[in-house]
Amino acid sequence: MPNSEMPDGAWRIVVPDPTRLPTDTSTIKDCDTLWKVGLTAGGIESRSSTHLILLQGKANNGVVITQMEARITKRQPAIPGALLECVRHVIPPAGILAIHLDFNLNSTDTAAAKYFDKGHVISIAKDEPVLLATEVTLPDSAAYWHIEAKILVAGKTRTLVIDNAGKDFSSPGTRTEDDYGIHITR
């Protein structure tokens, strides 16, 4: 999704230079306007840790996902500035049930989805859509990360990287509310 499009569900933007925000932020009443204001002010968009991922089977005999893990590829100190966030929840499209996957990267650079712990797998038939609702707990430091899925296709194991159109997902990190000059939540 291009950076100009507001993500579905919750999101966070850190604006490193809060002086670029409008002087009266109390007029911002909704997430759509807050998103536009944040990007216009040079905000660093961080997809929230909640993502809807739509997979579609392409292999003639289907695909089986046997494991998924989130992996941090880079960390750096949390970015200061103003924090803008929208706390609405992701609502899956009508008619498609989502498989919920939780990852915890708070204290480690790699975390497996607990869904697969008891031998569960995700089977995807050719042309079948499968919706994943992922929740990733991230560290306080700024982090770049992606999800790696171990898949079985025609009897061979492969790794599928799920990311943000070829780039890692990113998080500007978290500071205490007192460390942000401005914190706006809608």
149 beta partners = 68, 160
Look at residue 147 and tell me if it is in a domain: yes
Look at residue 3 and tell me if it is in a domain: no
Look at residue 5 and tell me if it is in a domain: no
In the chain, the number of structural domains is: 1
Can you give the pTM of this predicted structure?
Answer: 0.73
Look at residue 1 and tell me if it is in a domain: no
Look at residue 104 and tell me if it is in a domain: yes
81 beta partners = 180
Look at residue 6 and tell me if it is in a domain: no
Domain range enclosing 67: 11-185
Q: Smallest Cα–Cα separation from 37: which of 7, 13, 2?
A: 13
Per-residue pLDDT of the chain (186 residues), as tens digits, is 335 677 766 778 899 899 999 999 888 989 899 999 999 999 887 655 667 788 888 989 999 999 999 999 999 998 889 989 887 665 666 666 789 899 998 889 999 998 998 889 999 999 998 888 888 888 888 888 999 999 999 999 999 999 888 999 878 887 776 777 788 887
Look at residue 89 and tell me if it is in a domain: yes
Look at residue 4 and tell me if it is in a domain: no
